[in-house]
């Protein structure tokens, strides 16, 4: 089963909640980069992974998702989505487990992570609350993308602790209007509130965003709380040309789906 990564076209942090979480407004988007999960019948639960740096114990969201629904299987994870880059790989893997066993339960999904409910359906969606209050929107696809994967990794909790301010929401009607027009024409409105503080601490990430624009991107931004910097292009040819000019950093070509 394919577990697709995501980017955030926009991510505004609108306030802090009494439960310690933050309220956000975001525009989620699934992309063609994906992990693959294979399930084999078993009387017990076990997991293997092609990436030896990924834990395969109870700290892995795949195992946690299976245990949450009482599923048993031998699960093999072919890992392609870089871990800790703001692309939602772990959350997508967890959602894939719930989908495999036909348990698309939003409460279970949310108990596993704020992004997991989105991955039960994917596409383009407006998210509020912790990101779990979702409204599907017209799919923004296919748009050629180039993902720049720096060595730096940013923990989500660390990113929230670094926030300098909150932003008012734009509202779903504004995002819907941007999509109906041409989302890439509205790059200036598609902001990520984490960028200000994280770029101040890690200016090399800001430099990657600038390089994407210099290489012809119509939109570029950090995905989630980082550290992946994503760029969207008007054509596959523009994207592929940019990829040849962006040396010194891992780059992944993909598309919105």
Nearest to 253 by CA among 225, 227, 217, 226: 217
Is the domain of 7 the same as that of 120? yes
C-alpha 102/C-alpha 46 separation (Å) is 19
Give the residue from 137, 160, 181 where a domain finishes.
137
Per the omega criterion (within 30 degrees of 0), is the bond before 227 cis? yes
The pTM for the full model equals: 0.96
Is the domain of 14 the same as that of 133? yes
Give the residue from 88, 119, 137 where a domain finishes.
137
CA distances from 31 to 16, 152, 242 (A): 29, 22, 19
Residue 145 and residue 239 in contact, taking contact as beta carbons nearer than 8 Å: yes
Is the domain of 10 the same as that of 113? yes
Is the domain of 121 the same as that of 150? no
The reported pLDDT for the residue numbered 101 is 97
Compute the residue count for the chain. Answer: 257
CA distances from 182 to 122, 164, 233 (A): 20, 30, 12
The reported pLDDT for the residue numbered 76 is 98
- If one counts the domains in the chain, the total is 2
Q: In what order do the strands lie in the sheet with 229-232?
A: 219-222, 229-232, 144-149, 250-255
CA distances from 206 to 3, 57, 148, 177 (A): 29, 35, 12, 28
Query: CATH code at 236?
Result: 3.30.70.890
Query: b/e string for 11-25 if b means 16 or more Cβ within 10 A?
Result: bbbeeeeeeeebbbb
Range of the domain at 13: 2-137
How many C-beta neighbours within 10 Å does residue 42 have? Answer: 12
Catalytic residue positions, numbered: 6, 115
Query: CATH code at 133?
Result: 3.30.230.10
Is the domain of 30 the same as that of 111? yes
Burial, 118: exposed, middle or buried (Cβ in 10 Å; 0-12, 13-18, 19+)?
Answer: buried
Could you list the pLDDT tens digit for every one of the 257 residues in the chain?
999 999 999 999 999 999 989 999 999 999 999 999 999 999 999 999 999 999 999 999 999 999 999 999 999 999 999 998 999 999 999 999 999 999 999 999 999 999 999 999 999 999 999 999 999 999 998 999 999 999 998 888 889 989 988 999 999 999 999 999 999 999 999 999 999 999 999 999 999 999 999 999 999 999 999 899 999 999 999 999 999 999 999 999 999 99
Is the domain of 115 the same as that of 8? yes
The reported pLDDT for the residue numbered 165 is 85
Is the domain of 28 the same as that of 133? yes
The reported pLDDT for the residue numbered 157 is 85
Give the residue from 102, 137, 172 where a domain finishes.
137
C-alpha 145/C-alpha 176 separation (Å) is 21
């Amino acid at each position: 089963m394919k577990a697709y990564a995501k980017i955030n076209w926009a991510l505004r942090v609108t306030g802090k909640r009494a439960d310690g979480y933050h309220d956000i407004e975001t525009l989620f988007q699934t992309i063609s980069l994906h992990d693959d999960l294979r399930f084999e019948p078993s009387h017990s639960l076990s997991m293997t992974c092609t990436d030896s740096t990924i834990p395969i114990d109870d700290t892995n969201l795949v195992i946690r998702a299976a245990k949450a629904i009482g599923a048993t299987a031998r699960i093999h994870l072919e890992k392609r989505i870089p871990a800790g880059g703001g692309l939602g790989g772990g959350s997508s893997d967890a959602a894939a487990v719930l989908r495999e066993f036909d348990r698309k339960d939003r409460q279970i999904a949310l108990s596993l992570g704020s992004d997991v409910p989105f991955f039960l359906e994917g596409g383009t969606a407006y998210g509020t609350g912790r990101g779990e209050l979702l409204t599907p929107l017209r799919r923004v696809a296919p748009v050629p993308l180039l993902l720049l994967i720096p060595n730096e990794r940013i923990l989500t909790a660390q990113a929230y602790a670094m926030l300098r301010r909150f932003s008012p929401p734009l509202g779903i009607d504004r995002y819907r209007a941007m999509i109906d027009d041409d989302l890439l024409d509205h790059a200036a409105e598609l902001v990520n509130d984490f960028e200000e503080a994280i770029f101040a601490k890690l200016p090399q990430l800001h430099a990657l965003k600038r390089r994407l624009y210099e290489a012809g991107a119509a939109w570029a931004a950090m995905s989630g709380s980082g550290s992946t910097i994503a760029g969207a292009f008007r054509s596959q040819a523009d994207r592929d040309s940019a990829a040849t000019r962006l040396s010194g950093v891992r780059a992944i070509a993909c598309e919105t789906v």
